[in-house]
Structure 1
Amino acid sequence: MSWHSDDGSGTTADRTVEVWPDDDRLAEELGDALRDAELAERVAAAGRAALAAHRREAAERDDLALELFLLTLVHDSELAGGPVGVRDRSGSTSRTLVFEGDGVGVEVELQDGQVEGQLVPAQAGRVTVRRPDGDVAVVDTDEVGWFHLDARPHGPVRLVCESTRGTCVTEWLSW
């Protein structure tokens, strides 16, 4: 099959494209191409690399799952059956959340765009506020696990708490 094409400059060029007369001929030529040793080795190498990357990612995911402790929400002052908010001396309302897990936990108070809390048991560490699309804020705690963040994102968030005891994450919660 041949046709004329115009490249926009006013000149035309004849182009010829070989068309396979039938599917059998096309399959035969594709088979010949795949039997080419160099191409076959490149395809095999790409396959081995993809499999190795998959295995590495699966192993990292398994290691991560073993290292993380999920902390469960055991108290939310917003849902508790008492007054609808605790007022501090400034007159602002606050919300208290308590998360617990296998011997570890974190207590959090949300107030006026700030997050304060403490790791339980008291210990130095690091706290990260994480959204599904990435980390929002990271802070090191003091020696008794107390932390303060000037970030209170909206939408689903979780805390990632790291210490010498390991890493724990809270349930996803909409603040």
Structure 2
Amino acid sequence: MNRDDHPESDLLGAYRRIAAIVDPPPADVLAAARAAFLTRDLDGAIAVLVADSRASVGYQPVRAEPDQAQGHWLLTFEGGGIRADLEVGEDAAGLRLLGLLSGTAEGDCELEQAGVRRPVEVDALGRFVVAGVSHGPIRLRCRAADGTRVTTAWVTI
């Protein structure tokens, strides 16, 4: 089949060009789409969010009402043979992540935010601290002990 067999394809092309001029997608949507496409890992495993202290999922509250002024938020991800426990806190430089990884290969972890990857220094016990993290979607990319690339689900902090 060639293009001449489908004259409506010219009309659809014209509609696409008009829509791109009249109502283009916002720049931040395009940037997020490009970042998502460029940072995909088709061979990796996903570690899903299994516990979130702010949503009372997976954690048993100690108080009847959560104390939002406490300033700490706990997240747990599991999958692909790893477990990642994160505590999100706020300090003068922005957000701070305290974490504990288990089941990962030593020294192979990154924090990804808006398409930018930052290496994460993980000690021999699996502990790490990342300071100066800005608000927005983040995820961790690590290698499991068996060599599998594992990426946590995106979470907005």
Which residue of structure 2 lines up, in the alignment, with residue 171 of structure 1? 153
Deviations along 1:62-93, one digit per CA (max 9) or x if unpaired, are: 9x422x11000000001007342488xxxx42
SS at match of 1:72: strand
Q: 1:86–1:95: 8 Å Cα contact kept in structure 2?
A: no
1:138 aligns with 2:119: yes
Separation in structure 1 between the aligned mates of residue 107 and residue 68 of structure 2, nearest angstrom: 28
Give CA-to-partner distance per residue, 1:4-35, whole Å, 9 cap, x none: xxxxxxxxxxxxxxxxxxxxxxxxxxxxxxxx
Structure 2 CA distance, aligned partners of 1:170 and 1:107?
A: 11
Alpha-carbon distance in 1 for matches of 2:145, 2:56: 32
2:61 aligned with 1:84, yes or no? Answer: no
Cα-to-partner distance string for 1:129-171 (whole Å, 9 max, x where unaligned):
2123322x32221111111111322111111123543321111
Q: Which has the higher contact order (CA 8 A, sep 6+)?
A: 2
Q: Is the 8 A contact 1:125 1:164 kept in 2?
A: no
The match for 2:138 among 157, 160, 172 is 157
> Could you tell me the TM-score, scaled by structure 2's length?
0.58
Matching of residues 35-46 of structure 1 within 5 Å = none
Residues 151 and 69 (structure 1 numbering): CA distance in 2 closer, same or farther, change over 3 Å?
Answer: farther
Q: Distance in 2 between matches of 1:163 and 1:101?
A: 10
- Partners of 2:42 and 2:104 lie apart in 1 by 24
- Offset at 1:100? 0.3
Distance 1:94 1:134, change over 3 A: same
Q: Which 10-residue stretch deviates more, 72-81 or 154-163? A: 154-163
Alpha-carbon distance between aligned partners in 2 of 1:138 and 1:107, rounded to the nearest angstrom = 17
The answer to which structure has the higher helix fraction is 1
Contact kept, 8 Å, 1:73 with 1:98, in 2: the verdict is yes
In 2, distance between residues paired with 1:160 and 1:151? 18
Per-residue CA shift, 1:29-75, capped at 9, x if unaligned? xxxxxxxxxxxxxxxxxxxxxxxxxxxxxxxx99x422x11000000
* Alignment check: 8 A CA contact 2:104 2:143 kept: no
Contact map agreement 1:127 1:160 (CA 8 A) in 2: yes
CA root-mean-square deviation: 2.7
Question: Could you list the runs of 5+ residues in structure 1 that have no partner in the other structure?
Answer: 1-60
Q: If the length of structure 1 is used for normalisation, what is the TM-score?
A: 0.53
Report which of the two structures shows the higher radius of gyration computed on alpha carbons. Answer: 1
- Percent identity over the alignment? 24
Quick check: 1:132–1:156 contact (8 Å CA) kept in 2? yes
Query: 2:140 is aligned with what amino acid?
Result: L
- Residue-pair matches, total: 108
Name whichever of 70-79 and 95-104 sits farther off: 95-104
In structure 2, runs of 5+ residues without a counterpart are 1-38
